[in-house]
Amino acid sequence: MRDDLNASLGMDSHLAYRKVNAWVLQKTGNIEPAKPERLVNTLAGEQAIKELRNTGLASLVSYYNWKEGHIPVLDETGFGAKVSLKLDVADLEDLAAVNNALAPYHLRFTIAERNLEFIIIKENR
E strand map for 1-125: 11-27, 40-41, 49-55, 73-75, 83-88, 107-123
Please compute, for residue 82, the number of CA atoms within 13 A of its CA located in the half-sphere on the CB side.
13
Q: For the whole model, what pTM was predicted?
A: 0.86
125 or 45, which is more confident = 45
Does 67 score more than 90 pLDDT?
yes
Containing H/E element for 45? none
Across 5-33, average pLDDT: 89
